[in-house]
Structure 1
Amino acid sequence: MDPALPEAYPLPRGGEPVMARLRGGEPVAGLTAHTTQPPGSLASLWSTTETYELFPLLGDAPGEGMDALLHALRRQLGELGAPEHDSSCLVTWPSGDVAATRALLDHGFVPLSCLAIRTPVATVDTKLSGTVKMRRAEPADVDSVVELAMAELEYAALVGASVPRSGAAGLKRDAVSVRLRAKSGPRGIRRADGAPSGDPVWLAERDGNPVGLAECGWVDADNQHSGHRLGNGLWGYVNCLSVREEERGTGIGRELMSLVHDDFAAAGAVGSYLYYNPANPLSPVFWHRRGYRPLWTLWEIRPATALR
């Protein structure tokens, strides 16, 4: 998952055991460590007075195991008499384990902080290898576009608000078909540089096989009428960037976005925008490196007094 992770999972010396079983009967377990920060202590500046930290032991079932264990933890916190005021429940878990991330989000956890590291690494040549071609997608590419868009949706559902509902592929296909057939941009804008207008959808192909997708659009913001949270003008919108798992880290996403940004600029856009999930271990660092910064933060209301 990450070569920087320690070989052994650190466990506290004490703690209350918590047990649960998966649907097939396999056990998962953990330890719950309770700490109290005295009033006026330095640690009270960054911690609640009462903290219940779960140390899960999930085996080979990080998603189902975390879900089952958090249900058991909820019952345990009631038995321990966890207070409703100035208390918290904490789980520290590898960022790359997105199956467990989905369970944590479902139970009301939000990613408040992370332990980040930087280690010396050898320079990696990210120049694209093989034959990689970038081009505008056409109506005949609808199958490839939908496949790559669904891969992004399924991953995003593990780390954020996306939901892979039944019929999602059909909904994606309908939306993509409209995008690929569009001939002009917002409010009928046609580009002065002669390039295709419409909603730009880009494909990356390696040796003729689709390996990356950048599905984009336009927003003509007019705050007096539309209520957009953007400055007035034409904006490029990045709806979906998807690279096949085996191709990630080779530079395809970077090159696709360079092409997208050049295309936005050529069309006269005042800027571009997108949404990403803070809990996603891949997208924040990628988008920050592309020059994006947070403008608005959307927070969900979570129960303040109890684990779901």
Structure 2
Amino acid sequence: MTTAQELMDVQSARLATLDEALPSSYLLPHRGEPLMARLADGTEVAGLMAHTSHPPGSLQRLWSATENYELFPLLGEHPRAGMDALLDSWRRQLSQREITAADSSAVVTWPSRDVDATRALLDHGFAPLTCLAVRPAAPAKYTKLSGTVKTRRAGTDDLDAVVELALAELNYAALVGGSVLRGDAETLKRNAARVRLHTTGRTGSEPVWLAERDGEPIGLAECGWTDTETHPGQHRLASGRWGYVNCLSVREQERGTGIGSLLTALAHDEFARAGVVGSYLYYNPANPLSSVFWPRQGYRPLWTVWEMRPATALR
């Protein structure tokens, strides 16, 4: 009988050959329901399912279903057949639960370059709604903009402008990815922005930049920091301190003029000065803007978040 640790060791070694930027080990959540499956030749694969419920008023509901069922596969050296068998077993497991809410999702986050597993996920009806993309730490190259565009750090007096631009990004993202427009979206965004802006300018604070044309805010970059040593939840990144881009938003009439590139360059310069391992962000592969823009800024997919909504639709 193959143990979970043996499957994990073989899987980690195989994934390391596919992508050197992946962390050295594939970590499982502390709690979850075990799952087993057998291939045609009797080989065993396993997994762990974690269920998370996001109550009303939680910020996570803006990018996640309320009831989230996430599978953490242990496939050993059988990415396609193992994923296929495990998803069959997971479908049977979910069918035995009382999942009545339409606001639910089944999620598998898997290394983007493991295309054998990708085939099995597609065959079971999953959609690649989100990518976690990474960029090596390096200063940015600036492009001179035409017109009177200025950038600056946002402050507490800029709360309304920050919220407006952040909501514009959320509205667009909800059309092309996993984001969800909730009735309390503006309140949640405002509360989060108020906290972020209250600390901006302090050492170690999460930077927020605004781009302005003739004093009018036209672009926003909300950024921050993650240290994998103090934030164990960031187990999908290599060890060290990272910069991240939480939200980049440019007014529709200003898109394509270089505003987004300018704001991103500011973030990358600050990340580089801080000595980070690299920077990361999440974008939607189906987003016709992000899927072109972020690779041009040096980002490439590391993990793909595959989703099925509702969870009961898993086939």
TM-score (norm 2): 0.52
Give the structure with the higher percent strand.
2
- In structure 2, which of residues 204, 207, 212 is the aligned counterpart of residue 200 of structure 1? 207
The 3-state SS of whatever aligns with 2:303 is coil
How far apart in 2 are the matches of 1:305 and 1:213? 37
How far apart in 1 are the matches of 2:234 and 2:147? 46
Runs of at least 5 residues in structure 2 that lack an aligned partner in the other structure: 1-124, 130-142
Query: Which residue is 2:170 aligned to?
Result: 153
- In structure 2, which of residues 198, 211, 216 is the aligned counterpart of residue 209 of structure 1? 216
Query: Which residue is 1:283 aligned to?
Result: 290
Query: Which residue is 1:176 aligned to?
Result: 193
- In structure 1, which of residues 287, 293, 296 is the aligned counterpart of residue 300 of structure 2? 293
Does structure 1 retain, via aligned residues, the 8 Å contact 2:150–2:213?
yes
TM-score (norm 1): 0.53
CA 246–232 in structure 1, closer or farther in 2 if over 3 Å, else same: same
Q: CA deviation at 1:128?
A: 1.8
Q: CA deviation at 1:268?
A: 1.9
Does structure 2 retain, via aligned residues, the 8 Å contact 1:221–1:228?
yes
Task: Find the structure with the greater CA-based Rg.
Answer: 1
The 3-state SS of whatever aligns with 1:298 is strand
Runs of at least 5 residues in structure 1 that lack an aligned partner in the other structure: 1-107, 113-125, 191-196
CA 177–279 in structure 1, closer or farther in 2 if over 3 Å, else same: same
Question: Which is bigger in relative contact order (C-alpha 8 A, separation at least 6)?
Answer: 2
Does structure 2 retain, via aligned residues, the 8 Å contact 1:222–1:228?
no
Does structure 2 retain, via aligned residues, the 8 Å contact 1:201–1:213?
yes
Q: CA deviation at 1:166?
A: 0.6
Q: CA deviation at 1:229?
A: 1.1
CA 183–154 in structure 1, closer or farther in 2 if over 3 Å, else same: closer
Letter in 2 for 1:147: E
How far apart in 2 are the matches of 1:134 and 1:239? 18
Q: CA deviation at 1:304?
A: 12
Cα deviations across residues 71-127 of structure 1 (Å, max 9, x unaligned)? xxxxxxxxxxxxxxxxxxxxxxxxxxxxxxxxxxxxx78479xxxxxxxxxxxxx74
Percent identity between the two aligned chains = 70
CA 305–164 in structure 1, closer or farther in 2 if over 3 Å, else same: closer
Q: CA deviation at 1:300?
A: 1.1
How far apart in 2 are the matches of 1:224 and 1:202? 24
How far apart in 2 are the matches of 1:303 and 1:130? 47
Q: CA deviation at 1:150?
A: 0.3
| Root mean square deviation, CA, Å | 2.8
- In structure 2, which of residues 237, 247, 261 is the aligned counterpart of residue 240 of structure 1? 247
How far apart in 2 are the matches of 1:238 and 1:202? 11
Q: Which runs of 4+ in 1 moved over 2 A?
A: 108-112, 223-228, 301-308
Q: What number of residue pairs does the alignment pair up?
A: 178
2:145 paired with 1:138: no
Cα deviations across residues 182-224 of structure 1 (Å, max 9, x unaligned)? 2688xxxx4xxxxxx3110010000100000001111111289
